[in-house]
Amino acid sequence: MMTGVKKISYSMTCLGRKDPLTRESWETVFMCYWGFAIKYFVPAVLWFILISTFIKDVTSDTLYGDYAFGW
């Protein structure tokens, strides 16, 4: 599930540590949250925005700026 984002999230949590050699209690939760958001949530939201904008543009009665269709 976290293949590809685990190393990045681990590197990000290292930046917030007081002691670089000890792991904080919040890091595991943050790594799961951040990995899920980057890998699944953000692409789903971007896909939704892209499709809804495309559908709106295709089904609209007026063309962009009332230009002719060829433009």
Residue 34 maps to a domain: yes
Residue 42 maps to a domain: yes
Give the span between the Cα atoms of 29 and 5, in whole angstroms: 14
Q: Identify the pLDDT of residue 48.
A: 98
Q: What is the extent of the structural domain holding 38?
A: 26-58
- Is residue 9 packed enough to be buried (19+ CB in 10 Å), middle (13-18) or exposed (0-12)? buried
Within 10 A of 54 (CB to CB), how many other CB atoms are there?
A: 10
At 49, the pLDDT band (50, 70, 90 cuts) reads: very high
pLDDT cut 70: percent of the chain above it: 93
Residue 38 maps to a domain: yes
Could you tell me the pTM of the whole model?
A: 0.66
Answer whether residue 45 shows pLDDT above 90. Answer: yes
Residue 66 maps to a domain: no
- Is residue 38 packed enough to be buried (19+ CB in 10 Å), middle (13-18) or exposed (0-12)? middle
Q: Identify the pLDDT of residue 65.
A: 67
Give the span between the Cα atoms of 41 and 61, in whole angstroms: 32
At 52, the pLDDT band (50, 70, 90 cuts) reads: very high
- Count of the separate structural domains present in the chain: 1
Residue 46 maps to a domain: yes
